[in-house]
Structure 1
Amino acid sequence: MSQPVHLHTVLKTTALTTPLKDGALKSEQVVLDFTEINPIHKAFAPMVREAKFDISELAIVTALQAIAFKRDIVLLPVVVASRFQRGCLVSYRPHGEVKPEELRGKRIGVRSYTQTTGMWVRAHLVEDYGLATPDIHWITHDPAHVEQYQDPPFVEHPAHDMGLLDMLHNGDIDAAIFGNDLPEGDNYVPVIANAKAKDLAWAQQHGFVPINHVVAASAEICKREPSAVRAAYGLLAQAESHQVAAASGPRKTLSGFDALRGPLEWIIDACLEQALLPRKLSFDEVLGPAHVLLEGETV
């Protein structure tokens, strides 16, 4: 029997990925050699710029931009992180209440304009309140992971190195979008009232929870070791099946070609409104290479 292929892999440790990291789920064809990178978004630029890893978690916006700009990745039809987003837009109570209807012409800070949480918050503002993305001044520091992408003119880059919290406290911005670093405390007030109820209603209407992170393989490893990449995808799919089975209450998987078609088309349209993509991507352009690979052919 031939030895399994080792793939250099970066995935955040979660309930989904823990069985892959602790060896509970294994394959005779592939071994996932994990590198831990925290925060996980620091893996995204090396993956899309250098194909530094064989398999890596990617933010969905970064993945779509990488495909649009012909970077050497193959997006796999598996979701590793999804969550509700409306509560991620907060104001600072000492400066007074901020309502969504009053955001036109205001300044909102976000770590990077291309951050996926920011994309979702802007999409909800468009959908819920009719606020076109250029109607708001977006203040950010970090550039896109895909270096070919340039922020649109309505995005500002302050010369100072002040972080989002300091800008919020100083009144330099009217509100800010946070991801996993969402600050705690009564002074940080969600701009969108009843965010959780609205998120649940949105998911009921659209049939999915907003997608944050997916998984990509380098195009080179897909050509050189296609069977190993297929085996890795099989492990990810198996891990998700176990997680869904263990979840309390009804839950629907988001991975797989059929399940992802509607969500991806929705996200692509939102990205176009926000000038996050240079052109409209088709579903086949986004997941066609993975479909060829997983059907047993070489990409």
Structure 2
Amino acid sequence: MTRVPLTLACGDYDRTWPLADGRVRPEGIDLNLITLEPEECFWRMLGNAEFDAAEMSLSSYAIAHARGDDRFVGVPVFLSRSFRHSTLYVRKDSDITDARDLAGKRIGVPEYQMTAAVWARALLHHDFDVDTTGIVWCTGGLEEPGRVERQALELPDWVRIEHVGNTLSQALLDGSIDALMAPRVPSVFRSGDQVRRLWPDYAAREVEYYTRTGIFPIMHMLVVRADVDRAHPWVARSLYKAFTEAKRFALSGAADKPALRYTMPFLLDALERQQEVFGADPWPYGLDANRTALDTFAGYLAEQGLVAAPPDMTELFAPATRADSRI
């Protein structure tokens, strides 16, 4: 049987390494895996549909789909997940000490529509009762000027957005923004001199959030070009199975070595604490296992003016991937 050649772009993760090194081969597919930073991956796929399949921002895809963009079909493989309590930064000399102090402030964020920002704004509003409609969202590049929204937005008048000319890191230092919401750790924090996290105890807050809500926020998913899906309707399911197997390799191999596999001195302790909180699989794939997080996110998209009404998240995914077979 001739294997279908397929080029797939995604980030460099332990859960994708078995696909990159050939330990896992998707059924019927000759996979060419290209490793890119997520921002480049999203930009190129959303703008030009350059790849047969790619990692994609959950919010970008959901917004595009809600507006009738039918170029892609989703696969319930969630390549990136992250809590957002660690991503809020202020200057060390700021009088902002609590989330409620952010009401009415100017907060930097690379893009208003990015998934991390949607989850973080929802955290401020729902967990800390912050009126986020009074915040001015200042967008731009975290470390490089000139970043813009990766797709055009149609927002209600109450959403207040300004674009900054320099970098968000510099804007925080010079006081043109009051706080920064950054999915990457900003350079001005790494230097350790002038910037602090709003919540230094973010890890404990994240455990409390997960214990209370059952949600480990989804950031990125997998999409396949719709023309590929039409030509080969089995490809989405084949990729889903392969990524699931690759994740199994990552989870089983993290601690099962005579020497530490990762450069983390307290790896075993972290893995054992992780299992206490999440159980055997902290990173579930599949629609059913993630329905609460997906439906919650759909509500946040509408609440923040990014879509007119909460989208039916089931419709984002290829029909072949919406349920698993049973023996």
Q: What's the TM-score once normalised by structure 1's chain length? A: 0.89
Alignment check: 8 A CA contact 1:144 1:150 kept:
no
Pick one of 172, 188, 204 that aligns with 2:195.
Answer: 188
Runs of 5+ unmatched residues, structure 1 = none
2:315: which partner in 1? 285
Q: How far, CA to CA, are the matches of 1:152 and 1:109 in structure 2?
A: 19
The reply on whether 1:67 has 2:74 as its aligned counterpart is no
1:106: which partner in 2? 105
Question: How many residues matched?
Answer: 290
Alpha-carbon distance, 1:28 to partner: 4.8
Q: How far, CA to CA, are the matches of 2:56 and 2:298 in structure 1?
A: 16
SS in 1 for 2:212: helix
Alignment check: 8 A CA contact 2:76 2:321 kept:
no
**Cα RMSD over matched residues?**
2.1
1:231-242 matches, cutoff 5 A:
231-242=238-249
Pick one of 162, 166, 173 that aligns with 2:166.
Answer: 162
2:211: which partner in 1? 204
The reply on whether 1:245 has 2:252 as its aligned counterpart is yes
Alpha-carbon distance, 1:85 to partner: 0.9
Structure 2 vs 1, CA of residues 172 and 251 (structure 1 numbering), >3 Å: closer, same or farther? farther
More moved, 94-103 vs 166-175: 94-103
1:97-136 matches, cutoff 5 A:
97-136=96-135
Alpha-carbon distance, 1:18 to partner: 0.8
2:259: which partner in 1? none
Alpha-carbon distance, 1:108 to partner: 0.3
Instruction: Give the AA of the match of 1:171.
Output: G
Percent identity (aligned): 24
SS in 2 for 1:3: coil
Alpha-carbon distance, 1:35 to partner: 2.4
Alignment check: 8 A CA contact 1:113 1:151 kept:
no
Runs of 5+ unmatched residues, structure 2 = 141-146, 255-270
Superposed CA deviations along residues 271-295 of structure 1, whole A, max 9, x for unmatched, are 21111223221133223xx124677
Structure 2 vs 1, CA of residues 69 and 45 (structure 1 numbering), >3 Å: closer, same or farther? farther
Pick one of 135, 146, 160 that aligns with 2:151.
Answer: 146
Superposed CA deviations along residues 61-84 of structure 1, whole A, max 9, x for unmatched, are 112112112221111111111112
Q: How far, CA to CA, are the matches of 2:160 and 2:139 in structure 1?
A: 7
More moved, 11-20 vs 232-241: 232-241
Alpha-carbon distance, 1:119 to partner: 1.3
Alignment check: 8 A CA contact 2:314 2:322 kept:
no
Structure 2 vs 1, CA of residues 212 and 251 (structure 1 numbering), >3 Å: closer, same or farther? farther
Alignment check: 8 A CA contact 1:61 1:115 kept:
yes
Q: How far, CA to CA, are the matches of 2:96 and 2:213 in structure 1?
A: 30
